Amino acid sequence: MEMKITYHGHSCVQLTTEAGKSLVIDPFLRGNELAVAKPEDIQVDAILLTHAHMDHILDAEPISKANNAPIVANVELATYLSWKELQTIGMNLGGTVDLGFAKAKMVQAFHSSGITLADEQRIIYGGMPGGYVVHIDGKTILHAGDTALFGDMKLIGDRHDIDVAFIPIGDHFTMGPDDALQAAEWYGAKLVIPVHYNSFPVIRQDAQHYVSQLETKGLAGKVLQPGESLDI
């Protein structure tokens, strides 16, 4: 049984089952000049959001409306989006949502989370940030979310047999390549794909070098370009 992973740039990842069911995590396309896809290109059955920052939620609304797809997020962010007349499923850290074709468990990430309303000079609290362990088509996929390095990554790795881990390497707003290397060791995934880099000047990184560093530690990594897919 094979499923398809598509990387849409930044932290946006789409998972599609062999039967054609699909979910997208952190859709940020219009604001990312490296993205190949547009919101109207994305066909999914569910949307997962790791936290409330605009570079992770920007295109959740149009994709949700076009696909009649629920948005899964922490309760505060889900409530905020429900006020926009969007379908939402509010959850919290440690909880699992059953989407029918996939189960998504929200796990810890160390970051911040809020919605900035620049015109009002106001920031709305966006709930706790997280990542997801997604069980789909017999595979276990980790999306670490935006995060710093923390010791319980090892606990997540010990408790889940992770096939693919999406790990941020951009630095400045998240951990950089050195910390992401340690994170990869602790998660223990069969394959690591770096995310959250190169979208803005301040997070420019050499993803291929990161993958080569993984290989020196006996870990497998792969760089996906925006729009590129991988069957696993």
Q: Is the pLDDT of residue 1 over 80?
A: no
Model confidence pLDDT, tens digit, residues 157-210: 999 999 999 999 999 999 999 999 999 999 999 999 999 999 999 999 999 999
CATH number, domain 4-225, options 3.30.70.920, 3.40.50.720, 3.30.1330.40, 3.60.15.10: 3.60.15.10
Structure tokens at 187: 């998660």
Model confidence pLDDT, tens digit, residues 15-43: 999 999 999 999 999 999 999 999 999 99
Mean pLDDT of all residues in the chain?
98
- Is there a contact between 28 and 38 (Cβ–Cβ < 8 Å)? no
Model confidence pLDDT, tens digit, residues 52-72: 999 999 999 999 999 999 999
**Dist CA 180 CA 212 (whole Å):** 13
Predicted pLDDT at 205: 98
Residues 6+ apart with CB under 8 A from 153: 144, 183, 186, 187
Model confidence pLDDT, tens digit, residues 65-91: 999 999 999 999 999 999 999 999 999
The model's pTM is: 0.98
Domain map (residue ranges) of the chain: 4-225
Q: Tell how strand 139-143 and strand 164-168 pair up.
A: parallel
